Structures are given as C-alpha cells and as structure tokens.
Amino acid sequence: MPQETAEQHPKPHPPAVDLRLAHSPDSDDAFMFYALATKKIPTGNLTFTHMLEDIETLNRKASAEEYDITAVSFHAYASLSDRYILMSSGASFGDGYGPIVVSRAPVQGGSLKGKRVAIPGKKTTAYLALRLYEPEVETVETRFDEVLDKVIKGEVDAGVVIHEGQLTYGSYGLAKVVDLGAWWQNETGLPLPLGGNVIRKSLDPATIRQADEILHASIEYALEHREEALAYALQFARGLELSNAEHFVSMYVNDWTLDYGERGRKAVQTLLDRGYQAGVIPQAITAEYVSS
C-alpha cells in the first residue's frame, strides 16, 4: 500500500482573524504603525482594521473593550489590567522629558498648589504625573488639542500639554512651569512611561503572540526605514515643520519603543506603585506583558 505524504494532506491554513486596532492620530503613532498600515510587512492570517482616536477617547473605549488592540495611557492601564495585557513593544517613554505644564506668566518656584489646571483627560499619564507633582490642584478636563487655547484665553491658570504642544507652546508666548518628565526623572532616576499598546486577554493565545510579533516588526521596519516612515508620519503632524516632526517622533519612538527592557518595566511598575500610594490609582497593580 503506497505511503501517504505530507503533500497529500497539507496542514489547513489557520482561519483569518481581523483585529480592531486603535491608536491616536499623531505622528509618533503613525510612524510606529507605518509598516502595518501600508502593508510593508507580512501579517499571516491576521488582518488589521485601523481606527484613530485621541488618547483619552481610547482610554475610555478600552474600558468597554471596543478594540482588540489599542494604545492607552499607562494610568488608564491600571483600570484595564483585568481585560488587557501590555504588548512587549510600542511604548512611549519620556527620557528626561514629558508632558509640560505651561502658563501665560512665569510661576514662581513652579508651585501649582490651588491652581486651576487644564488636563487632557483624567485617565492620561499626564494627569497622574501632575497629581504626583502637586496633589492639590483643581483640574479642568480639556481635549488635548484645546489645552493651549484655554491657557492663552486665561480660562485656566495653567495647562498640561502633550503631543506636539510640547514643542510649540513657546511660539504662543507661554512659559514653562515644569516639565513633568524631567521632574519624574529627578525623583526616580527613571524615564516617565506615558503610553503603551495593549491587547485583549480573551483572544486566542496564539493570536496574541502573533500580533505582538507583528507590532514589533512594524516598529523595527520604521526605525530601519526612517525617511519613508517619517514622510508618512508627517501627514499626522498637525502643522509641525519637518525638523520639529522628526524631533517629536525621535522623542517617543526609539529603543524604548522596540523593547521595554528591565529599566523600562521598572519605570512602569514604579509609576503604578506611586499612583496607588498617592491614592490616584485605587488598587495596587502589577504590570503584565505578552511573552513570546
């Protein structure tokens, strides 16, 4: 009787899986997801439907598990860790820099006690860092791209700027009160973890691992093909000049983004622990990561 071969009974292809992937419409995220969005890398049986939302909207929608993979603030992750796990790459760290508190006039000694401060959302890491810096502030939730306007109009005493506002606030005649990333590094000796990518724990473990590898490959491709990835990311740079856009992307997509490393993971855990100790995060959280 002739022996059957593997060619006669090929392994069935795994079923196609479409994943809803959400991130913010910013140049750093666009750079990170360039290879994936433009199909520069193979994705096997996985397909990705991209959705763009501002970070606080992503934080809120993650609570309802609207997306399979999403960018979230590390502060928001604290309330999502039962449903989502951190992917092993894709994080943004401020290494000696980060969200900046600005005001119309210089603030003596950087004191914000009792001040009315615009924040880009209560689930953002910017808000958590502000509360760790000064617990006694009155906060006004404001869409991230309207914070500068509120400060300029005098509707608030100060505002926490994220994204491109960190590079452009001076052009509006505003003064820096404190760079929360620099303050955090002085306090802890660590970079400030701002946001990361998470994936739903309820997905098939093989899908989770495969998606994690694909995200890593997308970031690696962008870092290795910097010029073309930057050209793509520029359309999301909200009016930044090329040099500023390049600077902004390099601030938040770098070796930390490709791999947290031991120091990066320590920074995340320190942020979560300090948030809990300060009463801003309601329960103690141990960060969990996808492992290959």
* Separation of alpha carbons 10 and 151, rounded Å: 64
Give the residue ranges of DSSP H helices in 23-163: 27-37, 55-63, 74-77, 125-133, 147-152
| Annotated catalytic residue 163 | yes
Query: What tokens were used for 92?
Result: 């943004």
Nearest to 107 by CA among 129, 65, 137, 141: 137
Q: Which of 9, 13, 50, 163 is catalytic?
A: 163
Count other C-beta atoms under 10 Å from residue 70's C-beta: 27
69 touches 211 (CB < 8 A): yes
> Which distant-in-sequence residues (6+ apart) come within 8 Å of 50 by Cβ?
21, 22, 23, 33, 36, 37
User: Which residues are catalytic, by number?
Assistant: 163
